[in-house]
Amino acid sequence: MFENLDAWEVLVILLLALIVFGEKLPNVIADGVRMLRNLRNMARNATGDLSKELGTDISLEDLNPKTFLRKHILSEEEEANLRKPLEGLLNDVKRDVQGIGDEIKSTASSLDHRTPIQSGDSANSSGSGSGSGSGPGEGGGSAPNRFADAT
């Protein structure tokens, strides 16, 4: 319980307790320990009584309603029958999500600006066009690589 406290912090807590409670500190500690013992006994008795009434052995973790139903009321066959429709639905959803993910990846890779784009402008700028300077390939051939500086 106090594993993350070092010696100085424990000493400060004890000094504060001594200041607040004074001479009554031993009685307060004894009352606290007695209360913890009573709580543990009450919890042990409650689980024992519940085990006797239900005819099964239960622990405190079994008192969670979901765990209790799964462990004590449903048989394995009934639990498997309840899970079958949900497992089919889960598999369908997983397949759909996987398909959507694959589509997104393929769309993202086709739109990736880092991959070179093959366009008709690159053929015009490198080739035999000797026009009047008003063509798209003029000006140093910068049109095909207009997105190269964006990275």
pLDDT, tens digit (0-9, with 9 covering 90-100), for 47-106: 888 778 877 777 766 667 777 666 666 677 777 787 888 888 888 999 999 999 999 998
Q: Is 22 a residue whose pLDDT tops 80?
A: yes
The answer to whether residue 138 scores a pLDDT higher than 80 is no
Confidence of residue 147 (pLDDT cuts 50, 70, 90): low
Q: How far apart are CA 40 and CA 18, in angstroms?
A: 27
